[in-house]
Amino acid sequence: MSTLCQPCICTLPIITSIPNHSIRDVIFITAETFNISIADIKSESRKRIFVEPRMMAMLWLRDQGHKVVSIGAFMRRDHSTVCVSTRTIANYIQTDSILKVQWDLLKSNLSRTDFIIEKAV
């Protein structure tokens, strides 16, 4: 008797806007913000210094309208991992003041355009 996989049902609101940053740009800016490498963000490491920025990047991308499948594929993860990660970090941001400050810093950096220009130069 086999069981069928249940589809991932994210409880976060679905954003229908067109993403204004590519996944690659968001990962780059996240790595720069937290002073880690892009490889660290995409790695399988469970170290907190890598997991929290990774989850924040996923949350930003999800909020900007990127599909969970696309986010997961770029970060070498399953779409359901993206769903769980975004839900988890959203809850942590609401309850942890340090994560809230880090989240606000990342959002501020992602709102700047000079990060993208610096990378291109």
The residue with greater pLDDT, 25 or 119, is 25
In the DSSP assignment, the letter for residue 21 is S
Q: Which residues of 51-85 are buried (b: 16+ CB within 10 A; e: fewer)?
A: bbbbbbbbbbbbbbebebeebbebbebebbbbbbb
Mean pLDDT for the stretch of residues 50-58: 97
The widest CA-to-CA distance across the chain, in whole angstroms, is 57
List the chain domain ranges: 23-120
Total-model pTM: 0.79
| Selected residue with higher pLDDT from 15 and 68 | 68
d(CA 118, CA 121): 5
Q: Is the pLDDT of residue 67 over 80?
A: yes
CATH superfamily ID and name for 23-120: DnaA protein, C-terminal DNA-binding domain (1.10.1750.10)
The pLDDT value given to residue 115: 58
